[in-house]
């Protein structure tokens, strides 16, 4: 039998690029020529780049680190900074900020120089992981790697906005201009978004005009959408449509986020016919529904008590299905209308529909069941909620325990408190205060002590 021709470094790169399965690609990288394992394989820099990128995107971080260690020892290669920037980004996506920092610090050991590019990448990684104090601390070292650019300032401005420090964000905006760093659309977009969130609309529109006038920058769809959200928030729908018309004149393509904002605002204002016209315009403009559109429509149909149409949206009649937010809205309305049995059925059907319940789902259903005094069903939901690592709101849990006490359902109360103490570890002082005040009454002293003994032993 003829011996297979050995794979060359060039051929390995081609195979790695075409391999879709990162696990198979990793094994191929480690053992490209298993029949000649006694010879060390001289991997190309491209092969290193390809496999590190594949493993990082697949969140196979231990395997990625194994390849990085090999690359670190392979002194034939001077590792390009962008490759290590990708590694920093992969750690950020995995919410491992300390590993991102370690990678940044280790860049010189890969025979590579740290520049503003890797500095900005680390800054953004820390922002992604919401390490705001670390962002501030690192920002003080910006000058070590070159003069801060627009990317640097955009990250710092965004960090300030996310912390609620709008004044600091505008200080940074003034600083970047004083240093001759030109703001871009991302800079204005972040600031306008923050102003609209705080209903500082006059300042937001002034900033938009400054962007046009002083920097000759055109507004993007995101900026206009934030402005529309801001005016819809205060009920100025005619103003919102003027902004939309301005977008059309400028040739900007309206997206689903913008249409969803307008449709939702019109529904909330009781202008259903106008909302449906905008929905039709959305279709005619070739803009497809997304999960948010479904959520908006579910909310409107539920407000009308038209649950049949809401179910149709839930079933994906428009070619797209809602996300967990849409299910939570639906469950909330079913519970509000006393349709707790239907709510339970929908809750149990969510996994089959490809939507996993979240903490809001459990809390919505638990609160709804308690409101309609379906305590045994509420206990089942509570038990599953705690098993998933979630917990109800303290005030609602206390109220639930109080209702059980008032009802005199000590058997169910004992089960609940035992579960809270042994599984969830969320039995707070308020709950015990409620229990002691309700069960320790003269006429209930014997059974009260029996209950407390059982709870202590649980």
Per-position DSSP letters for 248-317, written without gaps between them: HHTTPPP-HHHHHHHHHHHHHTT-HHHHHHHHHHHHHTT----HHHHHHHHHHHHHTT-HHHHHHHHTTT
Residue 350: other Cβ atoms inside 10 A: 16
Low-confidence ranges of the chain (pLDDT < 70): 1-4, 36-38, 422-458
| pLDDT number for residue 458 | 43
Q: Give me the helix-helix angle, 291-303 and 324-336, nearest 10°.
A: 10
Kindly report the CATH class assigned to 220-287. mainly alpha
- What's residue 274's pLDDT? 96
The tokens describing 86, both together, are 């990708």
- Radius of gyration of the chain, Cα coordinates, nearest whole angstrom: 29
- How far apart are the C-alpha atoms of 252 and 85, rounded to whole Å? 33
SS3 (DSSP) at 209: helix
Widest CA span in the chain: 95
Say what the pTM is. 0.82
pLDDT digits (tens, 9 = 90+) for 11-55: 999 999 999 999 999 999 999 988 765 678 899 999 999 999 999
**Planar angle of CA 271, 276, 277, nearest 5 degrees:** 100
pLDDT of residue 403: 87
Q: Reduce the secondary structure of 79-124 to three states and give it as a string.
A: CCHHHHHHHHHHHHHCCCHHHHHHHHHHHHHHCCCCCHHHHHHHHH
Q: What is the pLDDT of residue 34?
A: 80
CA distance 57 to 53: 6
What are the sequence ranges of the domains in the chain?
Answer: 220-287
Decide: 74 and 42 in contact? Cβ < 8 Å.
no
Four-CA torsion 438, 444, 447, 452, nearest 10 degrees: 30
Cα(224)–Cα(247) distance, integer angstroms: 7
Q: How far apart are the first and last CA of the chain?
A: 71
pLDDT of residue 416: 84
Contact present, 419 and 458 (Cβ < 8 Å): no
Which among 318, 391, 314, 385 has a CA at the least distance from the CA of 346? 314
SS3 of 400-456: the string is: HHHHHHHHCCHHHHHHHHHHHHHHHCCCCHHHHHHHHHHHCCHHHHHHHHHHHHHHH
């Amino acid at each position: 039998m003829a011996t297979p021709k050995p794979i060359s470094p060039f051929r390995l790169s081609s195979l790695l690029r075409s391999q879709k399965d990162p696990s198979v690609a990793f094994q191929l990288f480690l053992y490209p020529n298993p029949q000649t394992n006694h010879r060390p394989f001289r991997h190309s820099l491209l092969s290193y780049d390809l496999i590190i990128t594949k493993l990082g995107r697949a969140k196979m971080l231990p395997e990625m680190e194994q390849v990085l260690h090999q690359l670190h020892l392979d002194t034939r290669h001077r590792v390009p900074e962008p490759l290590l920037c990708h590694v920093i980004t992969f750690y950020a996506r995995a919410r491992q900020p300390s590993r991102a920092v370690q990678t940044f610090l280790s860049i010189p050991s890969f025979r590579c120089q740290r520049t503003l590019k890797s500095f900005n990448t680390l800054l953004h990684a820390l922002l992604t992981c919401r390490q705001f104090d670390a962002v501030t601390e690192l920002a003080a070292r910006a000058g070590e790697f070159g003069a801060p650019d627009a990317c640097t300032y955009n990250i710092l401005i965004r960090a300030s906005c996310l912390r609620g420090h709008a004044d600091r964000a505008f200080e940074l905006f003034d600083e970047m201009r004083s240093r001759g760093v030109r703001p871009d659309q991302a800079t204005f977009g972040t600031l306008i978004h923050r102003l609209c969130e705080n209903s500082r609309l006059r300042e937001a529109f002034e900033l938009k005009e400054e962007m046009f006038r002083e920097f000759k920058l055109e507004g993007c769809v995101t900026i206009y959408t934030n402005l529309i959200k801001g005016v819809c928030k205060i009920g100025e729908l005619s103003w919102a449509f003027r902004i939309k018309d301005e977008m059309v004149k400028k040739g900007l393509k309206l997206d689903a986020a913008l249409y969803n904002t307008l449709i939702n605002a019109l529904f909330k204002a009781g202008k259903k016919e106008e909302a449906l016209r905008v929905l039709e315009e959305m279709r005619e403009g070739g803009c497809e529904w997304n999960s948010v559109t479904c959520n908006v429509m579910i909310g409107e149909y539920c407000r009308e008590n038209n649950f049949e149409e809401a179910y149709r949206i839930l079933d994906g009649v428009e070619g797209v299905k809602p996300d967990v937010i849409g299910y939570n809205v639906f469950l909330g309305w079913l519970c509000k209308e006393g349709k707790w049995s239907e709510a339970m059925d929908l809750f149990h059907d969510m996994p089959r529909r490809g939507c996993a319940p979240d903490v809001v789902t459990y809390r919505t259903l638990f609160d709804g069941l308690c409101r309609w005094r379906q305590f045994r069903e509420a206990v089942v939901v509570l038990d599953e909620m705690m098993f998933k690592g979630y917990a109800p709101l303290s005030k609602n849990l206390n109220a639930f325990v109080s209702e059980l006490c008032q009802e005199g359902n000590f058997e169910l109360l004992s089960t609940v408190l035992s579960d809270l103490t042994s599984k969830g570890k969320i039995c707070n002082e308020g709950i015990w205060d409620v229990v002691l005040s309700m069960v320790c009454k003269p006429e209930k002293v014997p059974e009260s002590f029996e209950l407390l003994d059982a709870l202590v032993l649980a």
